[in-house]
Amino acid sequence: MDALITNGIKISVVAHYEPVHSNPVDSRYLYSYQIAIENLSEHTVQLLRRHWFIFDSSGMVKEVEGDGVIGKQPILEPGQLHDYSSWCPLSTAVGKMHGYYTMMRLDDRSLFQVDIPAFELIAPFKLN
């Protein structure tokens, strides 16, 4: 598990290779990841946007950004946790992701950035 705390918000990530949905012969590798967002601050916050940087081992970099996460813009009171799962396709067996969330403190409507820790996407057969 990779974890990082930024501005009182803890982001934890666990990634998994999905062999059933991958096809190495066609250079298609699918990874799932689970993210936990924990509000360790004393402010109620809302996640507004996500911004991802996705790298594969061929040097390809892809940026993905948009509103919320999996169609939601969760509000977290102090001490609350929101978790979700998503996935990422790659054309290589090895890659990595990192990014950030744009969040808002609801008390003063100020925006701030929360870093998502870098995590590796590695097909298990590459670890030998």
Q: Report the distance separating Cα 117 and Cα 1, nearest Å.
A: 10
Per-domain residue ranges for the chain?
A: 2-127
Average pLDDT over the chain, rounded to whole? 96
Mean pLDDT of 22-30: 95
CATH T-level assignment (fold) for domain 2-127:
Immunoglobulin-like (2.60.40)
- Residue 43 is which amino acid? H
Position 127 scores a pLDDT of: 75
How much of the chain exceeds pLDDT 90, in percent?
95
Strands (E), 7-124: 9-17, 29-39, 45-56, 61-67, 75-76, 81-90, 94-105, 111-122
* pLDDT, position 30: 97
* Predicted local confidence at residue 125, as pLDDT: 84
Write down the pLDDT at residue 128. Answer: 63
